[in-house]
């Protein structure tokens, strides 16, 4: 009897060894399968934000035949009536497509599901945001999803849609019904302001295994003691807080504590992660892009390099502990936040593939680091930069510069770079450049007025970058708009007096500091026409070969002046918001520019192969998916209040 029992045990072990039972699908496996099946299951398609699709039904040979497939209107414009939303709202969302449904959010955080084949509405959830609130941004770049690994697709709570709001809430909805998940937080909602203060969220949260990781958005320059820019992780099933990480070290002994000096340094706020966070479930790491500490343009209350502000920080998701970091700007006084989702990609080096994280910046710099260690994969050096002459300020003596990867955007500005469509306007531009402080990149703010280039809208901005792994090409769009930053001593000025002297400029009090700040830009409005004062192109799309680190091509992106009046305007590019995606079909799709077109570029050479006029401004990143054997290109077309493009409430789909 004992011999038979032992035989059964041995046979069982043999079966388990040779035919192991399938464990539940990991997040990595699930995301890979979503991509293989032609879905777009995350903001950047994969959790690492490559914004690449393996689909190639639409390709360089047939993209010219793309036609409108369907449109959907959310009715969002009605929400703006009786409010000041029209001047501040921007429809910047990139929808998800999972299992035949598109999920997206509107600027006022209504969450909507529509049919992927027809655009027919399936459900709408309205969180009831106070539309008369004072929000620094009125936008939402999208939603996320969490799939319960213990459930099957047919189960009622298999997938949840996760969204964060401009009034500081995190919401979990049943993906099938659009109803709040009662077992999550308080009836499906978590108040993110609890224990932090008044914050907003404009980017979709990151999801890594069974955790939701989320940053925050807050205004700039009103005071130095903004709320802390904490990053928090919540249990995806229950909504319970698992950990919280503050980018500003508050206690002696904390790593980076000695990089914050001054009596009030520990009261500084922000350094928040307002851009999307990337996740690598296989490494149990999230990659957090942090911003400038408050306020943006004066750091005398926070002397030192100010770690972990302006940094890419790798955090162990299961514990909330930083693993490594790299600071892209020391002691930021230029509003040089890391503005975009880090891109997780593989880099070939010495015949080996290395897991990497790529960071684009407003300065136009690109940094690429080993995902596991933080080691630079392309060389970087510290260079001497101009120092501040403002009383109380102590700017950093050196800043990091990539030495092999190209610097994109406006990297120099002299009187010779002045521009105007007539000799008189060109001379006005030259005179304006001549009268202000300009010692090159990283010239600090001054009393005379400092020309800051690239400005706070880039170089690169939240539009980010896309990586085509088949061709090893990085695609990114840039702005070329210089800012004019001026400090005014409060001893002799008031915000009202500065406003009166500079009616067009943004003027902020920087409470808790000795100085008021004004921010203007190098353009003018002449007879109702928007005219730049620096040479074109003003916006470009660029491709970088990530094997060599060399610029492969760069072309103007769109246009912003009337081609009928200025025939060369189509060569001058446009200020742009909204990123590009790439596909195995050899295409890069992007709208973004002020002219209202969505375009397809040849990834290999930058040639425009197709374009279509949108019903409203396309200041959003598109996406693509395949459903029922047909590939679609989809974009939110709702305009941008601050940029002045046409407002709307459309989701637009194209197909062959």
Separation of alpha carbons 242 and 234, rounded Å: 5
Active centre residues (catalytic): 335
User: Structure tokens of 423?
Assistant: 């000799």
User: Structure tokens of 301?
Assistant: 């209350």
User: Cα dist. 484→328, 352, 413, 420, 451 in Å?
Assistant: 22, 45, 12, 18, 5
Name the one residue in this structure whose structure tokens are 């101009």.
386
Strands (DSSP E) contained in 131-205 are 144-147, 159-164, 169-174, 189-191
Q: For residue 262, report the phi and psi dihedrals to the nearest 5 degrees.
A: 125, 155
Q: For residue 63, report the phi and psi dihedrals to the nearest 5 degrees.
A: -60, -25
Check residue 353 and give left, alpha or beta (phi > 0: left; psi -120 to 50: alpha). beta
Q: Residue 423: CB partners within 8 Å, gap ≥ 6?
A: none
Check residue 464 and give left, alpha or beta (phi > 0: left; psi -120 to 50: alpha). left
The answer to whether 559 and 593 are in contact (CB under 8 A) is: yes
CA atoms within 13 A on the CB side of 152: 1
The answer to whether 636 and 104 are in contact (CB under 8 A) is: yes
User: Cα dist. 509→16, 155, 220, 498, 515 in Å?
Assistant: 69, 54, 10, 10, 7
Separation of alpha carbons 523 and 530, rounded Å: 7
Q: For residue 17, report the phi and psi dihedrals to the nearest 5 degrees.
A: -70, -45
Q: What is the CA radius of gyration of the chain?
A: 25
Q: Is the peptide bond before 459 cis (omega within 30 degrees of 0)?
A: yes
DSSP H/E element including 231: strand 231-235
The answer to whether 481 and 472 are in contact (CB under 8 A) is: no
- C-alpha angle 440-300-450 in degrees, rounded to nearest 5: 25
- 3 state SS of 346: strand
The answer to whether 463 and 577 are in contact (CB under 8 A) is: yes
Separation of alpha carbons 592 and 66, rounded Å: 19
The answer to whether 304 and 198 are in contact (CB under 8 A) is: no
User: Structure tokens of 486?
Assistant: 């001026």
User: Cα dist. 228→193, 199, 368, 384 in Å?
Assistant: 11, 9, 28, 30
Q: Strands across the sheet with 539-545, in order?
A: 465-468, 473-479, 539-545, 550-556
Q: Residue 503: CB partners within 8 Å, gap ≥ 6?
A: none
Dihedral sign for Cα 133, 134, 140, 146, please: negative
């Amino acid at each position: 009897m004992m011999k038979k029992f032992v035989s059964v045990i041995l046979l069982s072990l043999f079966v388990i060894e040779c035919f192991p039972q399938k464990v539940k699908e990991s997040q990595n496996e699930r995301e890979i399968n979503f991509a293989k099946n032609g879905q777009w299951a995350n903001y950047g398609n994969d959790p690492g934000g490559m914004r690449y699709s393996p689909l190639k039904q639409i390709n360089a040979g047939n993209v010219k035949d793309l036609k409108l497939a369907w449109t959907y209107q959310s009715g969002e414009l009605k929400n703006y009536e009786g409010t000041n939303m029209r001047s501040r709202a921007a429809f910047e969302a990139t929808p998800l497509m999972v299992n035949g449904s598109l999920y997206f959010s509107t600027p006022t955080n209504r969450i909507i599901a529509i049919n992927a084949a027809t655009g027919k509405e399936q459900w709408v959830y309205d969180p009831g945001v106070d539309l008369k609130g004072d929000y620094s941004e009125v936008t939402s770049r999208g939603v996320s999803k969490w799939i319960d690994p213990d459930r099957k697709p047919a189960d009622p709570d298999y997938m949840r849609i996760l969204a964060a709001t401009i009034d500081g809430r995190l919401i979990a909805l049943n993906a099938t019904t659009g109803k709040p998940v009662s077992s999550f937080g308080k009836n499906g909602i978590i108040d993110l302001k609890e224990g932090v203060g008044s914050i907003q969220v404009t980017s979709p949260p990151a999801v890594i295994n069974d955790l939701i990781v989320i940053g925050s958005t807050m205004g700039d320059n009103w005071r130095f003691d903004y709320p802390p820019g904490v990053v928090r992780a919540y249990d995806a099933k229950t909504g319970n807080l698992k950990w919280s990480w503050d980018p500003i070290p508050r206690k002696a002994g904390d790593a980076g504590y000695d990089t914050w000096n001054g009596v009030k340094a520990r009261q500084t706020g922000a350094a928040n992660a307002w851009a999307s966070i990337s996740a690598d479930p296989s490494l149990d790491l999230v990659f957090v892009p942090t911003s400038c500490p408050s306020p943006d343009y004066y750091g005398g209350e926070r002397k030192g390099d100010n770690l972990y502000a302006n940094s890419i920080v790798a955090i162990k998701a299961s514990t909330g502990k930083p693993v490594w970091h790299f600071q892209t700007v020391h002691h930021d006084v230029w509003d040089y936040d890391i503005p975009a989702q880090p891109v997780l990609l593989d880099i070939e080096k010495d015949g080996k593939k290395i897991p990497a994280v790529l960071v684009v910046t407003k300065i136009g710099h690109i940094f690429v680091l080993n995902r596991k260690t933080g080691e630079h994969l392309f060389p970087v050096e510290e260079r001497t930069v101009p120092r501040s002459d403002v009383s109380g300020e102590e700017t950093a003596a050196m800043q990091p510069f990539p030495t092999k990867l190209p610097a994109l955007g406006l990297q120099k500005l002299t009187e010779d770079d002045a521009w105007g469509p007539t000799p008189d306007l060109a001379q006005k531009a030259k005179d304006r450049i001549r009268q202000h402080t300009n010692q090159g990149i990283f010239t600090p703010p001054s009393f005379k007025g400092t020309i800051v280039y690239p400005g706070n809208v880039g170089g690169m901005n939240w539009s980010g970058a896309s990586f085509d792994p088949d061709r090893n090409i990085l695609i990114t769009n840039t702005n070329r708009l210089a800012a004019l930053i001026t400090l005014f001593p409060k001893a002799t000025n008031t915000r009202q007096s500065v406003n009166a002297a500079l009616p067009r400029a943004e003027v902020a009090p920087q409470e808790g500091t000795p100085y008021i700040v004004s921010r203007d830009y190098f353009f003018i409005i002449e007879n109702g026409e928007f005219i730049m004062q620096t040479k074109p192109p003003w916006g470009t799309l660029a491709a970088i070969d990530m094997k060599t680190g060399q610029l492969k091509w760069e072309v103007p992106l769109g246009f912003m002046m009337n081609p009928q009046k200025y025939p060369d305007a189509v060569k001058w590019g446009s200020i742009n918001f909204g990123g590009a995606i790439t596909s195995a079909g050899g295409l890069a799709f992007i709208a973004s520019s002020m002219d209202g077109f969505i375009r397809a570029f040849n990834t290999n050479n930058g040639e425009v192969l197709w374009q279509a006029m949108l019903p409203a401004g396309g200041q959003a990143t598109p996406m693509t998916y395949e459903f029922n054997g047909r590939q679609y290109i989809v974009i939110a077309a709702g305009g941008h209040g601050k940029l002045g493009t046409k407002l709307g409430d459309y989701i637009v789909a194209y197909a062959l």
